[in-house]
Structure 1
């Protein structure tokens, strides 16, 4: 990659390093201190967050270019990855010299490696439905062991109204960015725990466009809580029903938008984000999953109506409500049936 193509990613790296430096030199406590005595800087540490070590091209690149540095990586000690920690998310601390002596040759090399990694990660982001090897960068005064221990609890979530916990993909920026705005400040504090800033590449949201948007940072920051409200706390059982649904909406929505793009449906005829989220919520209430959830959206969204703009059809209409009830009953008795096939059968029987 030539210097001109790498320049936007270098700008992103420099913005990250500058923020890290600012947090270290100007700690939050300093802004509240009205005395003339300046408190010492709060040491802040920056960590790269990766999806996993095994089958990760960026990890392989790290191993090749900075083998001694990669020995310091710390994997999340989650029981889900017992005896296979190479499949667990892991963090790797950036050298603090990057904000002390950024012009040093080793630090320049790391800066350039980070920029190349962001460019590679940007291609994965634009694909939407593929894995993302570099999940983000976090800034915290805590040790990597303290952070990864916190993530063990964060990754063990019990969905609302369910008895059993499931593995929650907190490290996936697509998951975080969909649910983060819906969380209260206290919930955000419980998610972050000892982390002050959590940076990740902004994930596209909406129908697939003609070309990917320029890379930008998404930054989650530790919120300012009301006076007397304790920060942090256990991140277990973190979500209500709507928030839990939002946390899983990205994978479902992107698969559906990918289907529309693969079938050459114009962007203007595809469901917008709000409409698609509503259809996903309605499908979830019907208990639809997998291909039947996708079928429900394709059937519900009229992308080429005879009159008017594309829109979702109203299943509450007198001629549609019985059809939906019939399909629900048939799916309960025929778990392997397809929603779309049952809908076509119902329409044919009506005519």
Structure 2
């Protein structure tokens, strides 16, 4: 299998975010399969290779032993793929909706069915694989050790991505009912401990992503909360619908009216056991998000991606899908052609 190179803009400062941590975790996890490097391309960092240097120093690879480059960073993807033209690469697709098209033959490693379906429509002839994000072991281990009775926070809300409805209407109304509500903002050293201290977690990202025109690529916070034994009230936009099932695994947030939310969340804080997910379904969900399960998925995906690039390097042309405008034009012109045939003498 080809060595892997994960491209990220940087790993410190303004680049530090949830998406970066997931990408670094994936790189660490896949080091069990073979050599892995994390390569930066905007910020030079001590001890890490820099994209421009590697491209200048290395000639275009021609053999199967060359690296497989993994790109992922949203708006940077088209530029990165132009830089990597002629090299084996794959798109690790999180959020969708950026509007760009992929070159023929570039595989898509989608983190959710929502994203998989998006690229199944936009790039139906590119190799497509589903490789959801993994929960790191501490989420599963800590979730098993902490009981609901020991939790000091009735309702936990992470400020980032949550809606104005949650922050400005729901939180004050819950506090007025005497519930212990914590709104977390900024960096937390031990996020696992924070989740294990909460009975109920609220996550409403629909407005956040609608305002940006792209999607919730995977939605780790609700899954992390479920792993820690919390009751989750969430929106069901985009990839959140991959893991959440209204009333069975998680509950809808913003369901009809403010009083309805207040009654449901208050009841869940009083008696979390009555509102917890279906345990068989949750156990299966968490098992599918374990690193062991995801490592198997990645191994299968990378074997096929490597075989695909072996064929391309050997000279086989990549399949191309007809452009959408051409398919739509043919559909519009078909009735005209049919009418002309009927009118022909």
Instruction: Compute the TM-score of the two structures, normalised by the length of structure 1.
Output: 0.26
Structure with greater contact order relative to length (CA < 8 Å, sep ≥ 6): 2
Instruction: Compute the TM-score of the two structures, normalised by the length of structure 2.
Output: 0.26
